[in-house]
Amino acid sequence: QVRLVESGGGSVQAGGSLRLSCSVSGYTGTDGIACMGWFRQAPGKEREAVAAIYHGGHSTYYADSVKGRFTISQERGKYTNYLQMRSLKPDDTAVYYCAAEEFCGTWFKEIDYGWWGQGTQVTVSP
């Protein structure tokens, strides 16, 4: 009954900023959630990895399309992370999904995450 909830989505004009949040509840395991990531899916396109954070921040990963603009972070000792998005572009428009996993695999592979949120819409107008 692990639940991931995203928040912070909305509509902004190109060049604006948004901060997405992902909060986890219901986790009672002992291994810990070591890997959290963000994916997005735009209309007519495949879902793609955006960013990931491993082991509370010891490792971070970003898609080339968002490097230098997006920053992922995590609250210390908590299964809560944030995706700070700056200099947003219309191509960033998508539904953004948070994902989590106890045992980290390859950061950009959907199949390597066991828990997913329902998504939050981000719309960037030109």
Structure confidence by residue, pLDDT tens digits, 102-121? 999 999 999 999 999 999 99
The pLDDT-based confidence of 94 (bands split at 50, 70, 90) is: very high
In this prediction, residue 16 carries a pLDDT of: 98
The pLDDT-based confidence of 70 (bands split at 50, 70, 90) is: very high
In this prediction, residue 76 carries a pLDDT of: 92
Instruction: Please state the rounded mean pLDDT for residues 72-77.
Output: 95
Tokens 């998508």 sit at which residue? 94
Q: Which of 41, 77, 49, 80 minimizes the C-alpha distance to 65? A: 49
Instruction: Please state the rounded mean pLDDT for residues 58-67.
Output: 98
Q: Which residues contact 55 (CB under 8 A, 6 or more apart)?
A: 34, 35, 104
In this prediction, residue 39 carries a pLDDT of: 98
Q: Which of 111, 74, 84, 81 minimizes the C-alpha distance to 98? A: 81
The H-or-E segment that residue 46 falls in is none
